[in-house]
Every structure is written in structure tokens, then in C-alpha cells.
Structure 1
């Protein structure tokens, strides 16, 4: 629609200019100002260039000035068609290039001087001549000033439109950035919530399959644990999906997020799945702020989940958490074979760790450790109260 409007505007402007020129040419006929066909022709020649006053303001104004110069040589009196100079001056101040704007003002003032000299110098006294010159110059300047103000207003409106368009583009970019960040955050939460529970369930299911042949009672207990873990994961998924779909009117409640103080419960849950874990905590976990505590919990959870998935049988892991005055230092080691497992390109755990650490301006390292096994080491700065 906007392109159609732009294509129609030139036709609109030239149509209005033709109507203006026609109206100006009809005035002397209607009120009897023209005394002969020659007068009508001269007025028509002066007014005709106004048809191009917006499409070609320099050409239109220059043509009018040349015709007025010819009139000065041939005729010693003013003509009705001289009003074309005022309309042409307005047009060049409003639509012409910058150099022509000031050139048009100079030409108009020069025309006022030439007209005064040609029409009034001689029989009139100096006072009359001066008053006439000032009056003509004032009319010329007023016409030019109106055009210049119109030009300034259009430039101001165009600047506002450009600024509005830029703000709209910036808003779209900010919305895209926010959307991407939110998608990444949701992906991290779903990975940490679901992948951990599913890994525990898979390991326990394998253990139940093995125990079913020799220890049926242990297999039954393991299946109960799998069922409990699955129901817990399903409940967490329902809460997460409910929050994503919540429009603010469903009354969905927010479950408390885990923190550093929940590490013991996490370790006990993984020990129940058969993973041997030693936990060493130095410092008070209760004083860790919620944001840092959640990051600490998720890093330990992801590291131990990877150990459970990739470490192999009889793997042992150690978790060291040291709370200092300005940070939480985490180290998770295992002696499994996870460092030798080829990456399949489907894992997002390490990426999620790095993204979480980046939010706190901390650092994390993950890779094989000396002597075999895998190590995850991270430093999470504490938030300043």
C-alpha cells in the first residue's frame, strides 16, 4: 500500500499545480484585468511555469525570472502575472535543492530592487521609492519564508518517521534477542529437569533387568524407584508446561527452585541409583544466594548425571563444594570412562553449564582429568547483597 501511495504522489502534485496555474490564469479573465489578447498571453507565459513548481522547482523559478527580465525590458509597468514570482519563490524555498533555496531568495530580493527602479524611479520622491522597495522586499521575503518553513516542517516530519521506523526495528531486534534468550533458558531448564531423571530411570531399569534373573525382590524394589522417579519427573514437566502456557489467570503455582542446600538430597538420590559418591562441603551453603545456589545445584547435577550415563560400571565420583567470601568453587571428579566416549553431537549439558556460568561472569572447565576419568570445575561468584 505504501508503494502505491508513493507512486501516486507525483501525479497528485502535478495535478494540483496544473489546477493552481489554471486558476491564476482564469482570474484576469473573470475580473476583467486583461485589456487585450497580448496582456493575456504575457500573463499566461508568466504563470505557465508554475505547472512544474514542485516537479522541477529550479527550472520553473528560472523560467519565471527570465520572463520577468524580458518584461522589464519591454514593459514599464507591473503585470498581474508577476504574482508567479511569489509562487515560484515559495516553491523553490520549499522543494528546491539547498543551494537554490538561498539563490532564490537573492534573486527575489534583486527582483524587488529591479522592479522598484523600473516602475517608480523618476517622477516619485525618494520616500515613496523607499517605501515601495521595502514593501516589495517584504512580500518577497514573506513568500520565501513560508516556503522555507514548509521545507523545515517536512524535514522534521521525515526525521520523526525515520526515528519511529528505527525504534520499531530496534524493538523487533530486542524482541528477537529476548525470545532467543528465553528459548535457551527454557531449554536449559528442561534439559536439567528431565535429562537427570531419565538418566536415573535408565540406569535403574538396566539394574532391574539384570537383577530380575537372580534377585527378583530387588528388581521389584528398583521398579518401584523407577515408577517414583518417573512420576516425579512427569509432575515437574507438567508444572513447567503449565507455567509456559499460563496467561496469568490460571492460578498456576511456582515450585521452589533447588539451591545449594539441596545438594545433599541430590547426592542421596543418585546414590540410590547405584552411583558411589563422596560429598565434601566447606563453608555454609545456607548463605549462598538463590541465583548462585541454583547454578551450583545444576552444575553438580549435570556433572553427576553425565557420570551416571557415561562413566560405566562401578564408577565413583567425588563432589567438592567450597564456599568462600566471594564465590562458590565446585569440582566434580569421577574415575569412569566418560572421557573416552566419543561425542555424538546430541549433548547439551556442557553447553548449558557454560551458559549458566556466563550469566554470573564465572568460569567453568570440563574435560578429562589426569590419571583417567572426567572433571568438571567451576567458579560461581556470589551476588553482592
Structure 2
């Protein structure tokens, strides 16, 4: 199993913790609360160093470090090198390493190691009190912490359990954060795909509807009025070029992947609404465009307004045919209000039924992005009405 390279600060912190704990354990062995060890006084420091050494390696090899720390603590206790009355200090390195194990391994494995370490420590303490302590020279003065094996075992097990619980909680938080980050990344990808799908739908749907109408006109009047055929072909040519430019813009956004070296192509906005109305007029829709703009909207809002009007006019061209249409756009500092009304087909019943297709869904999603409202449906007598309100803050973010 490969481990990621740790920052130098973490290794320095572990080394400092190992040194500090070695000094504390060494001092406790030299001057214990209970009877002094039968080992020479100088041996306290090598023993303390051996007990604390696994702390320095706990991030690099946590499982091996835990095995070494627990085994060293058990051997030091059973051999009588531990401090009587403060044996729990001997297992303090095991506590610190167990935290790292619980924070980096599965809960089942860390719980197993907790049980193994607690059992080993309790057994070693019982052996110390049963076989080692009776042979030690009694303390020359009364201590405030006389040796008692239940206290030693209890303190050691509490510390081990607390370290395991803390490490498990840290691992759970890390896993939850990682899952949340993955979920947010997947949601961002889905939103981006939906946004691109809306862009392509609006661009291609509008242009193909206009091209289809003009191609139908050219086909019907090809022999009788060739001048209208040339006009229709001119509209088809202009629409095709505009559509290719829009498609290239969307594809360039996909390929750039946020690369600052790619200069973004201009996004359609309020200034492009008259050209949009002219395209609809060339398809036989008499469009009356009214734009009331008290203050220029942010680019993102202007692009959403353009796309909503574009899709609404596409629906008029596709479903209502030659008809009258009124487009009203009213913008102030905090809201963009859009309304598109058409009078329906001049001949025959309306062709639009049901809840609507992807075009209405796309317009509704654009309004929802800003926490706004969107309504679309038949008018009382004839025709169709589309209305959208996009509230926003002056910086362009949703209100």
C-alpha cells in the first residue's frame, strides 16, 4: 500500500511529541509514585526512548507503529521497567498511535486493534502487580498515588478508547467531506451538461426552425417567384453562418476547460434582440419588440434574457406559423421581466398542446437559476403567452 508523502511539519510534530513523551516517561520511571524499579536508574531513558519511538513513525506506518508501541509497552511492564503507580504512561505512546490507526483505517480493523491493545495492556498490568510489584523495595515515603491495578487498567483503557473514538470520528468526517466533494463535483458536471444542452438546443432549435420555414417557402415559390427563392436562400445562408458561430462558441467553451489562454467569444445579450426579431420576421412572424432598460443588466442576465426570447420566438415560428407576436422586455436594477404574446395560427387551431417540450423546460430552468418565476400557456381566446421574471443582485448573482 502506497502512502502519500507527508509534509515536513507533520514529521517534525511527531518527533517533538515522541521526545516530549520520552522525557515524561523517563522522569516517571526515575521517580515513580510507587516503589522504584529494580532496573538501574540510567536505564529509564533508553526504555522511555524505546517506548516513544513508534510515535515518530505513526503517520508513515501506522499499523506497524501500533504493533511496536503496544508490544514495547507490554514488555516494559512485564519486565518491571515501568513506573509503579504510573504504568498508564507506558501505554501513552500506544494511545497516540491508536488514534492515527483509527483515523486512517477501517472502523472494524481499528476496533479490533483497540480490543487487542486494551487486552494486552490489562494483562501486562495484572502480571506486573502479581509478580513484579511484590519483589520491589517499598517506597521510602508515602505517595499521593499509591499503586492500584484497577486504577491503572481503568486509566489505560479509558485513554485507549478515547483515542480510538476520536480517530474514528476524524475518519468519518474526512470520508463525509470526501463524499460531499465528489457529490458536488458530479452535480457540477451535470449542471454544466444541462447548461450546454440548453445552449445547443436554443441555438440549433431556433436556427433550424427558421431554415425549415424559409426552405419550405423557397420550395413552394421556386418556379413562380424566383426572387423570393433568392431572398429565402440569403436568410438560410445568414442563419447558417450565425448558427455555426454559436456552435463554435459552445464547443470552444468545452475544449478550453477554463484555460485562460482561450479568449471567450462574445455571448449574445440585449443588443442582439433586434436581430433576433428580424430573423423571426423573415419567417413570417410580425414581431413587435419593446425593450425598456433603465440600467444595463449583468452579462449573465442579459444572456438568459436573450435565450428565453430566442426560444419563445422559435416556438412561435414552429407552432404558430405566420402570426403576430409581441415581445416586451423590462429591466431595472433588480429584475428582468420578459413577456412574449402571440395571436396563434392565422388558419386552423393552435398546434401546441400538453405541458411543452425541452424548449419550455430550458426557459423554466433559466428562470429557476435566478430564483425567478416562469409561466407558459394558452391565452384565453387564441395564441400563447410566455412570461418570465428573473430577480438578481446588481453583481448579477441571483437575488
Gaps of 5+ in 1: 2-8, 28-51, 69-77, 84-114, 121-127
1:341 lines up with 2:352 in the alignment: yes
Describe the shift of the 1:207–1:273 C-alpha distance in structure 2 as closer, same or farther (beyond 3 A).
same
Matching residue of 1:353: 363
Match of 1:321 in 2: 329
> What's 1:214 paired with?
224
The count of residues paired between Structure 1 and Structure 2 equals: 299
**What is the CA-CA distance between 1:139 and the residue it aligns to?**
8.2
* 3-state SS of paired residue (1:332): strand
Going from structure 1 to structure 2, the CA distance change for 1:248 and 1:56 (only over 3 Å counts) comes to closer
Q: Counterparts of 1:141 and 1:219 in 2: how far apart (Å)?
A: 101
Q: Judging by fraction of residues, say which structure has more helix.
A: 1
What's 1:380 paired with?
390
Pairing 1:1-385 to 2, within 5 Å after superposition: 54-55=115-116, 81-82=131-132, 131=141, 136-137=146-147, 145-247=155-257, 251-281=261-291, 283-284=292-293, 287-312=296-321, 314-324=322-332, 326-337=334-345, 339-343=350-354, 347-384=357-394
Offset of residue 354 of structure 1: 1.0
Which gives a bigger RCO, structure 1 or 2 (Cα 8 Å, sep 6+)? 2
Question: Is the 1:53–1:60 contact (alpha carbons within 8 Å) kept by the matching residues of 2?
Answer: no
Is the Cα–Cα contact under 8 Å of residues 327 and 380 in structure 1 kept in the other structure?
Answer: yes
Q: 1:270 to 1:63 in 2, by over 3 A?
A: closer
> How far is 1:141 from its partner?
5.0
1:381, distance to aligned residue in structure 2 (A): 2.5
Per the alignment, residue 8 of structure 2 pairs with: none
Q: Are the aligned partners of 1:276 and 1:317 in contact in 2 as well (CA < 8 Å)? A: yes
1:203 deviation in Å? 0.9
Q: Distance in 2 between matches of 1:251 and 1:135?
A: 71
Question: SS at the partner of 1:213?
Answer: coil
The separation in 1 between residues aligned to 2:326 and 2:204, in whole angstroms, is 23
Cα gap change, 1:278 to 1:226, in 2 (>3 Å): same
**Which whole-Å deviations, capped at 9, do the CAs of 1:43-94 have from their partners, x for residues lacking one?**
xxxxxxxxx99459679969997x99xxxxxxxxx86x356xxxxxxxxxxx
Structure 1 vs Structure 2 CA RMSD: 4.3
Asked whether the 8 Å contact 1:211–1:218 carries over to 2, the reply is: yes
Aligned-partner Cα distance in 1 for 2:385–2:253? 35
TM-score by length of 2: 0.62
The offset of 1:250, in angstroms, is: 8.5
State the Cα deviation string for residues 135-194 of structure 1 (Å, max 9, x = none): 752787566545543433333222221111111111111112212221221111111222
Looking at structure 1, the residues matched to 296 and 118 of structure 2 have their Cα atoms a distance apart, in angstroms, of 76
Counterpart contact for 2:210–2:280, Cα < 8 Å: yes
TM-fit CA distance, 1:286: 5.5
User: Structure 1 residues 339, 368: CA separation in 2 closer, same or farther (over 3 Å shift)?
Assistant: farther
2:289 is paired with a residue whose SS is strand
Is the 8 Å Cα contact of residues 325 and 340 (structure 2) preserved in structure 1? Answer: yes
Cα pair 2:304 2:366 within 8 Å, conserved: yes
Secondary structure at the aligned position of 1:212 is classed as coil
Q: Could you tell which deviates more after superposition, 272-281 or 296-305?
A: 272-281
Task: Please say which structure displays the higher CA radius of gyration.
Answer: 1
CA deviations over 1:99-120 (Å, ceiling 9, x no partner): xxxxxxxxxxxxxxxx89xx99
Q: TM-score normalised to the size of structure 1?
A: 0.64
For residues 178 and 286 of structure 2, what CA distance do their matches in structure 1 show?
56
SS in 2 for 1:370: coil
- CA distance in 2 between counterparts of 1:195 and 1:176 reads 28
Tell me how far 1:274 sits from its aligned partner.
Answer: 2.3
